[in-house]
Amino acid sequence: MVRQTWLPIFREAAEAAMDATEHLVGTEQANEIVAAKTEGDTTRKIDAVAEEAVTHVLAESGMSFTLISEESARMAKMLAGQ
């Protein structure tokens, strides 16, 4: 049952990420560093844009979830109805 609930949301999130990054693929702009962590790890623009698109779809889904992000180094817990 859980798979049937989440699968369409994950598909929508993947499509949103592809749509949001399509114009960046293969460009210098995609590799632009938009964040750097003290450990030396960096976030490139294409990764940040994709993560934002996925996060938006998940937040709009109305489902409860916990998101652990490598790019923004955050953990967010969303509860349904918030």
pLDDT class for 81, splitting at 50, 70, 90?
A: low
pLDDT of 76 reads 62
User: Which residues form the domain of 73?
Assistant: 2-78
For 65, counting Cβ atoms within 10 Å of its Cβ (0-12 exposed, 13-18 middle, 19+ buried), the class is: middle
pLDDT of 10 reads 95
Q: Is 66 left (phi over 0), alpha (psi -120 to 50) or beta?
A: beta
The owner of tokens 């652990």 is: 68
pLDDT digits (tens, 9 = 90+) for 11-48: 999 999 999 999 999 999 999 999 887 778 889 999 99
Higher-pLDDT residue of 77, 45:
45
pLDDT digits (tens, 9 = 90+) for 55-65: 999 989 988 88
Number of domains in the chain: 1
For 46, counting Cβ atoms within 10 Å of its Cβ (0-12 exposed, 13-18 middle, 19+ buried), the class is: buried
